[in-house]
């Protein structure tokens, strides 16, 4: 008859298994990794949670198998390190995230272990063992990262990425014509700057390949896929779940300014949950306004001071006014978008006017000579008030 171990060691193993499958614990460890590593924080939160789960499961499996750390093949950890190298993340940035996550995981083990009544001496023995495996795990992550960096360098990825970074970030030395020619660029050429939103390593590789087939020279810049291309690919040839922002074509010396604009527009588009390929000029207004958050807050608080953010009717008035403005100041179009009668839209606009002084022409079918600057001022105030709440 097999004897089931129900002692303290078994309780400690059960504690570890529970933590690895606990979403709240995973989120706490992932949050620590993001908080202590700016490079990790720029990854999608779901990707960081996947990374944490992978490492914790890898370590737990090694502990359960009772295999010495030096004899264990931490293949998953090596693969994770390689993925981050492919994304352009530095080994130091990766390690800061891994170590911060490890420290938070140890805190969770102690906290939950004591709550479960596991003796301190058992927790101490377990944590010493965990420390040995965690060290081996970190070495595997570093080895995977460095191996991938060497492979990328041999394949020419690293020189290409260095060139892209110099062109987009404004390196101190202008690339020579021979270096540009090596990667298909010309000093007198005209190129679109292109920046992609955060994607996982596999999708980033696929996206880079599609862009390269249209003449793009891309690399990982500040943990984002970015580069220059002589022509933009058709939107239907790209990953439909990806977000990309491009600038109109221009000379290479304009690339750093275009990169900054694309990055600012990308943040706005990502915050709105957009997907697809956008020209930076399509997002110009929202990008410019997003650069002045303090003014936006002041404007919303001043023009809409009479509105209560916890009042559902007031929120409905703001939503209606924004919809009306976004649909050409047309009652019929706003009503169709809101699934209400145009008279309902008119009534809500009139109530908003009574509360805030919203321009009187809003109750008509059109703007009625309402100045463009005034439309912008109210649209920005309404948008700021809504988004902050």
221 assigned to some structural domain: yes
Q: What is the pLDDT of residue 260?
A: 92
316: which residues sit within 8 A by CB, 6+ positions away?
348
Last residue of a domain, one of 153, 178, 206: 153
Contacts of 200 (CB under 8 A, 6+ apart): 44, 47, 83
pLDDT digits 0-9 by tens, 141-173: 888 888 877 776 665 567 788 889 889 988 666
Please give the residue range of the domain that contains residue 383.
Answer: 293-387
Q: What is the 3-state secondary structure (H, E, C) of 341-362?
A: CHHHHHHHHHHHHHHHCCCHHH
Residue with tokens 């023009």: 303
3-state secondary structure of 195: strand
Q: 145 with 176, same domain?
A: no
Please give the pLDDT value at position 5. Answer: 41
Instruction: Classify 150 as helix, strand or coil.
Output: helix
* Residues 269, 365 within the same domain: no
Whether residues 162 and 124 share a domain: the answer is: no
Nearest to 352 by CA among 310, 298, 303, 299: 303
Which of these three, 287, 304, 322, is where a domain ends? 287
- CA 137, distance to chain mean position in Å, is 26
Low-confidence ranges of the chain (pLDDT < 70): 1-10, 59, 62-73, 86-88, 152-157, 171-173, 200-202, 360-369, 389
In a domain, 3, yes or no: no
Per-residue model confidence (pLDDT) at position 1: 30
Alpha carbon 31 to chain centroid distance? 14
Q: Give a yes or no: residue 2 inside a domain.
A: no
Strand-strand pairing, 276-279 and 243-246: parallel
Q: Which two tokens stand for residue 59?
A: 């370590």
pLDDT for 87 equals 64
DSSP tag of 181: H
Token pair for residue 388? 């902050």
Q: Within a domain: residue 106?
A: yes
Q: Looking at residue 353, which CATH number applies to its domain?
A: 1.10.10.2840
- The answer to whether residues 275 and 297 belong to one domain is no
Number of independent structural domains in the chain: 3
Residues 106 and 145 in one domain: yes
Same domain for 25 and 109, yes or no, is yes
Output the CA–CA distances (angstroms, integers) from residue 210 to 132, 213, 234, in the order listed: 43, 5, 10
Domain with residue 76: its CATH number is 1.10.490
Cα 357 to Cα 29, 110, 341, 360, distances in angstroms? 49, 58, 23, 8
- Give the bridge partners for 279, in sequence order: 246
CA 68, distance to chain mean position in Å, is 37
Helix (H, G, I), strand (E, B) or coil at 329: coil
- Please choose, from the candidates 324, 197, 201, the residue with its C-alpha nearest in 3D space to the C-alpha of residue 268: 197
Give pLDDT, residue 46.
83
1 within domain boundaries:
no
Residue 200 lies in a domain: yes
Residues 133 and 166 in one domain: no
- Does residue 204 sit in the same domain as residue 325? no
Instruction: Determine phi and psi for 273, rounding to 5 degrees.
Output: 75, 25
What is the reported pLDDT for 352?
A: 93
**Same domain assignment for residues 360 and 236:** no
Q: Which two tokens stand for residue 201?
A: 């390593």
pLDDT at 367: 46
pLDDT given at position 57: 78
Does 299 map to a domain? Answer: yes
Q: Which of 231, 254, 287 is the last residue of a domain?
A: 287
Claim: this prediction has a pTM higher than 0.95: no
Which DSSP state fits 292?
-
d(CA 342, CA 330): 9
Q: What is the pLDDT of residue 307?
A: 92
Q: How far is CA 167 from CA 188, 190, 210, 297, in A?
A: 14, 13, 21, 36
Q: Are residues 168 and 144 in the same domain?
A: no
Between CA 114 and CA 121 the distance in angstroms is: 11
Query: Same structural domain for residues 282 and 211?
Result: yes
Q: Same structural domain for residues 249 and 322?
A: no
Give the contacts of 340 (CB within 8 A, at least 6 positions apart). Answer: none
């Amino acid at each position: 008859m097999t004897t089931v171990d129900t002692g303290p060691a078994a309780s400690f193993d059960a504690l570890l298994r529970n933590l690895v499958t606990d979403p709240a614990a995973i989120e706490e460890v992932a949050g620590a990794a993001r908080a202590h590593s700016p490079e990790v924080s720029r990854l999608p939160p779901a990707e960081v949670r996947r990374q944490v789960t992978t490492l914790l499961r890898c370590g737990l499996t090694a502990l359960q198998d009772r295999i010495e750390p030096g004899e264990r093949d931490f293949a998953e950890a090596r693969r994770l390190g390689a993925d981050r190298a492919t994304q352009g993340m530095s080994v130091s940035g990766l390690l800061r995230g891994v170590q911060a996550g490890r420290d938070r995981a140890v805190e969770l083990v102690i906290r939950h272990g004591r709550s479960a009544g596991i003796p301190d001496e058992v927790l101490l023995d377990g944590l010493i063992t965990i420390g040995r495996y965690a060290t081996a795990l970190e070495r595997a992550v570093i080895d995977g990262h460095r191996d991938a960096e060497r492979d990328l360098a041999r394949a020419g990825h690293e020189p290409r990425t260095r060139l892209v970074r110099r062109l987009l970030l404004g390196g101190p030395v202008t690339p020579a014509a021979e270096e540009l020619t090596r990667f298909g660029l010309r000093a007198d050429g005209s190129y679109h700057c292109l920046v992609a939103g955060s994607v996982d390593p596999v999708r980033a590789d696929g996206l880079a390949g599609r862009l390269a087939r249209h003449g793009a020279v891309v690399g990982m810049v500040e943990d984002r896929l970015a580069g220059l291309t002589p022509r933009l690919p058709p939107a239907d040839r790209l990953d439909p779940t990806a977000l990309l922002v491009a600038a109109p074509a221009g000379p290479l010396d304009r690339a750093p300014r275009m990169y900054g604009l694309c990055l600012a527009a990308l943040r706005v588009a990502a915050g709105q949950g957009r997907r697809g390929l956008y020209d930076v000029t399509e997002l110009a207004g929202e990008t410019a306004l997003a650069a002045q958050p303090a003014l936006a807050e002041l404007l919303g608080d001043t023009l809409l001071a009479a509105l209560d953010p916890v009042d559902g009717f007031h929120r409905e008035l703001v939503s209606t006014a924004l919809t009306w403005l976004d649909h050409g100041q047309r009652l019929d179009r706003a009503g169709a978008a809101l699934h209400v009668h145009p008279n309902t839209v008119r009534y809500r606009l009139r109530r908003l006017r009574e509360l805030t002084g919203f321009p009187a022409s809003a109750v008509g079918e059109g703007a009625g000579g309402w100045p463009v600057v005034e439309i912008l001022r109210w649209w920005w105030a309404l948008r700021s008030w809504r988004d902050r709440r």
